[in-house]
Amino acid sequence: MTATSPTHPARIPRDAVVIRFAGDSGDGMQITGSEFAVETALAGNDLATFPDFPAEIRAPQGTTFGVSAFQIHFGNSEVMTAGDELDALIAMNPAALKTNLKDLQRGGVLVCDIATFNPRNLTKAGYTTNPLDDPSLSDYRVLKLDVTKMNAEAVKPFGLGAKEALRSRNMWTLGLMLWMYGRDRSHTIEWLERKFTKKPDIAKANVAALNAGHAFGETTELSAPSYSVAPASAAPGTYRTVTGTDSLVWGLVAGAKAAKLDRVVMASYPITPSSPVLHSLAGLKQFGIVTFQAEDEISAMCAAIGAAFGGALAITSSSGPGIALKTEAIGLAVMTELPVIVINNQRGGPSTGLPTKTEQSDLYQAIYGRNGDTPLPVISTATPSDCFEVAMEAVRIATKYMTPVMLLTDGYLANASEPWLIPDVTQLPSFPVKFRTDPVGFHPSLRDPVTLGRVWALPGTAGLEHRIGGIEKDYDTGHISYDPDNHQKMTDVRAAKIDGIANDIPLQTVAVGEDTGTMAVVGWGSTYGPIHQAVRAVRAEGKKVSHIHIRYLKPFPRNLGDLLKRFDRVLVPEMNNGQLVTVLRSEYLIPAEKLAKVTGKPFKISELVTAIRTRLEK
């Protein structure tokens, strides 16, 4: 921790803070934010971050649609969302100000690099007058700094080109913000030196910029005070920050290990926001992981099925439109009873919709979206770190029940990050698969009497030669059968197998509050954070409201119905037009109420608090 200089007013303590770095795509806001997050994590705060990329690959400089932002929420106790309103906003250019100001709370700190507020940039951002010169910003604590100039001076000694010099502006800003919140900067310096080992001048310049920004805060009388946020109490152990993508991928690796499957085949076709799963796994070849970028999603799903037939842990991942293309083949996996992990990184629909925005509107598709009576298990992820456990569960269920499993996550979780207590690998669950080898009494249609899972018999095993396919098969022999009663029997067993999983998953717990009350706020997926905080808030007002978050969507936990019936009302906030609520109503005949938000953005805690309050008043 840097001590604040004596001449400087003491830091104002805060429980939690939300700040956002916003600038042009080229301004390195993602790196700036991530580094701030690291220093914050290392300072012992709990935190949550969310990056907001522009929809365009690389929009023209200075345009509003080219703005890239990174938000971080940190505090001295459990932090579960990236935060609603901003305490501080860093706007590296007019466009960044234009697009982000609405989220800054009154009295919040606003840092602007005045050098960028030139007529050209102002018009590009759609300003007719310079907001820095008119009263429009009077509600905020504006720091009008010529970052560009001050930074240029700081880096001058290293003889960088104008362009290069400009590039380090973000480090100057980072330095200032690290000072403002009393964070260390040694890890960032370390990192800069590692990153630019081959270009020592650039490294030095960036470090100088960082220090200059920090020094500026420390030595100047700023019109904005500085703050301190005490560390959060955390369980002992080794931590790191993870995005949903990181922990999902590691969960898959852990799942393969737990299943004792040393060949993993991941077949996928790139699509936003799902591609990072493919990218990460492509970097893990040393784990015996084969990644296959197929020609399309149909091929990816079918390749996964082929790999499963061959005895590998088969994985495919995509997003809504790609999952739509996979549905016919998913039916084949259900019919042939082969284990495949199907990951859906949900994004805004319908059709191409809002590819870069988050949504959870593919639940219907996951549960109902196939021809025929074609049931399969559906599970979902709630937080970035939760993805690890859910991925392992997907592997366990798929291999134990010989079925494709739909794992629903979304674009928000894929990119959001939070600190994670790294698990002890020796303590992780283990569920080794058994391949059939004994030819005596073998039929491809043999089932485990308990799980009803079909036998997994691999090509290459002498005496188990058999044929599978998408046509209905005889219950006893596994041969093609057009027999009416057999079709009924197979339809029933396919359904019973999936329903039976309910006996093999944890009972539904209550995330916050009692298991009875005036209202249960029921969610699934990435709405966990905001619902959690909102329920806490209304409970603080003495309301008998509980938060129930469902991971297992098909089948539901055995006790879910009884649990929900112990509440006077059930409110179901979803980032879709009301999908889980429909399923709950038909399953339990309870008048669950829909609370839909379909804007491509996560719920704000405040929105939920208001919604819960008003419903309770009704």
Partner 1 sequence: MTTSTAPLKASDFESDQEVRWCPGCGDYAILKAVQRTLADVGATKESTVFVSGIGCSSRFPYYISTYGFHTIHGRAPAVATGLKLARPDLDVWLVTGDGDGLSIGGNHMLHILRRNVDIQLMLFNNEIYGLTKGQYSPTSRVGTRSPSTPLGSLDSPLSPTLFALGAGARFVARTVDTQQAHLVSVLKRAHAHRGTSFVEIFQNCVVYNDGVFDEFTDKSVAPDRQLLAEHGKPLVFGKEKTQGLRLKPAALELEVVTIGENGVTESDILVHNETNRTLASLLGSLHPPAFPQVLGVLYCDPAPTYEDVVFAQMKSATGGPKDLAALMHSGRTWTVAG
Q: CB of residue 491 vs ligand TPP: minimum separation in angstroms?
A: 20
Judged by CB under 8 A, which stretch of 12-20, 72-80, 102-110, 465-473 contacts partner 1? 465-473
Q: CB of residue 58 vs ligand SF4: minimum separation in angstroms?
A: 5
Q: Is the peptide bond before 273 cis (omega within 30 degrees of 0)?
A: yes
Residues in the interface with a copy of itself (CB under 8 A) total 67
CB-based closest residue to ligand TPP? 271
Judged by CB under 6 A, which stretch of 268-276, 381-389, 400-408, 556-564 contacts ligand TPP? 268-276
Query: Using the rule CB under 8 A, is 306 a contact of a copy of itself?
Result: no
Cβ(389)–Cβ(251) below 8 Å:
yes
CA 569 to chain CA mean position, Å: 29
Q: Which does 470 bind (CB under 5 to 8 A by kind): ligand SF4, partner 1, ligand TPP, none?
A: partner 1
Contact letters for a copy of itself, residues 315-344 (x by CB under 8 A): ----xxx-xxx-xx--xx-xxx--------
CB-based closest residue to ligand SF4? 57
Residue (322 or 602) nearer to ligand TPP, CB: 322
Q: Which of 354, 367, 360 is closest to 409 using CA atoms?
A: 360
Q: What CA–CA distance (Å, rounded) separates 601 from 597? A: 8
What are the angstrom distances between the C-alpha of 327 and each of 137, 390, 431?
Answer: 52, 22, 28
Cβ(278)–Cβ(289) below 8 Å:
no
Query: Using the rule CB under 8 A, is 240 a contact of a copy of itself?
Result: no
Contact with a copy of itself (CB under 8 A) among 63, 374, 380, 409: 374
Contact with partner 1 (CB under 8 A) among 9, 200, 470, 591: 470
Contact with a copy of itself (CB under 8 A) among 357, 400, 539, 549: 357
Number of neighbouring beta carbons within 10 Å of residue 221: 7
Query: Using the rule CB under 6 A, is 58 a contact of ligand SF4?
Result: yes
Q: Which of 75, 90, 108, 104 is closest to 224 using CA atoms?
A: 108
Query: Using the rule CB under 8 A, is 146 a contact of a copy of itself?
Result: no
Q: CB of residue 60 vs ligand SF4: minimum separation in angstroms?
A: 11
Tokens 């590009």 sit on residue: 124
Residue (287 or 368) nearer to a copy of itself, CB: 368
Q: CB of residue 480 vs a copy of itself: minimum separation in angstroms?
A: 9
Residue (224 or 596) nearer to a copy of itself, CB: 596
Look at residue 421 and give its three-state secondary structure.
Answer: strand
Q: Which does 310 bind (CB under 5 to 8 A by kind): ligand TPP, a copy of itself, partner 1, none?
A: partner 1
Listed in sequence order, the residues at least 6 apart from 168 whose beta carbon sits closer than 8 Å to its beta carbon are 151, 155, 160, 205, 206, 209
Q: What CA–CA distance (Å, rounded) separates 224 from 493? A: 67
Q: What one-character-per-residue DSSP string does 508-553 give? A: PPPSBS-SSEEEEEEE-GGGHHHHHHHHHHHHHTT--EEEEE-SEE
Please list every residue from 141 through 170 that binds ligand SF4, using CB under 6 A. Answer: none
Query: Using the rule CB under 6 A, is 322 a contact of ligand TPP?
Result: yes
Q: Which does 282 bind (CB under 5 to 8 A by kind): ligand SF4, partner 1, ligand TPP, none?
A: partner 1
Query: Using the rule CB under 6 A, is 369 a contact of ligand TPP?
Result: no
Q: CB of residue 32 vs partner 1: minimum separation in angstroms?
A: 16
What are the angstrom distances between the C-alpha of 326 and each of 281, 291, 354, 409, 411?
Answer: 20, 18, 20, 17, 19
Tokens 């027999």 sit on residue: 483
Query: Using the rule CB under 8 A, is 350 a contact of a copy of itself?
Result: yes
Query: Using the rule CB under 6 A, is 270 a contact of ligand SF4?
Result: no
Q: What CA–CA distance (Å, rounded) separates 361 from 242? A: 25
Query: Using the rule CB under 8 A, is 263 a contact of partner 1?
Result: yes
Chain length of the chain: 618
Residue (294 or 537) nearer to ligand TPP, CB: 294
Query: Using the rule CB under 8 A, is 582 a contact of a copy of itself?
Result: yes
Q: Any idea what the Cα angle at residue 22 is, between residues 125 and 56, rounded to 5°?
A: 65
Q: What CA–CA distance (Å, rounded) separates 494 from 137? A: 63
Q: Is the peptide bond before 555 cis (omega within 30 degrees of 0)?
A: yes
Give strand ranges (E) for 398-465: 404-410, 417-421
Contact with ligand TPP (CB under 6 A) among 310, 321, 369, 600: 321
Number of neighbouring beta carbons within 10 Å of residue 456: 18
Q: CB of residue 293 vs ligand SF4: minimum separation in angstroms?
A: 18
Query: Using the rule CB under 6 A, is 271 a contact of ligand TPP?
Result: yes
Listed in sequence order, the residues at least 6 apart from 234 whose beta carbon sits closer than 8 Å to its beta carbon are 44, 46, 419, 421
Q: What one-character-per-residue DSSP string does 186-232 give? A: HHHHHHHHHHTTT-HHHHHHHHHHHHHHHHHHHHS--SS--EE-PPP
Contact with ligand SF4 (CB under 6 A) among 10, 12, 57, 440: 57
Q: Which of 392, 439, 75, 63 is closest to 256 using CA atoms?
A: 392
Contact letters for partner 1, residues 323-362 (x by CB under 8 A): -----xx-xx---x--------------xx----------
Residue 365's H or E segment, with its range, is helix 363-368
Q: Which does 600 bind (CB under 5 to 8 A by kind): ligand TPP, ligand SF4, partner 1, none?
A: none
Residues in the interface with partner 1 (CB under 8 A) total 95
Site for ligand SF4, rule CB under 6 A: 57-58
Site for a copy of itself, rule CB under 8 A: 55, 65, 298, 319-321, 323-325, 327-328, 331-332, 334-336, 348-357, 359, 361-362, 364-365, 367-374, 469-472, 482, 484-485, 487-488, 491-492, 494-495, 576-577, 579, 582-583, 585-586, 589-591, 597-601
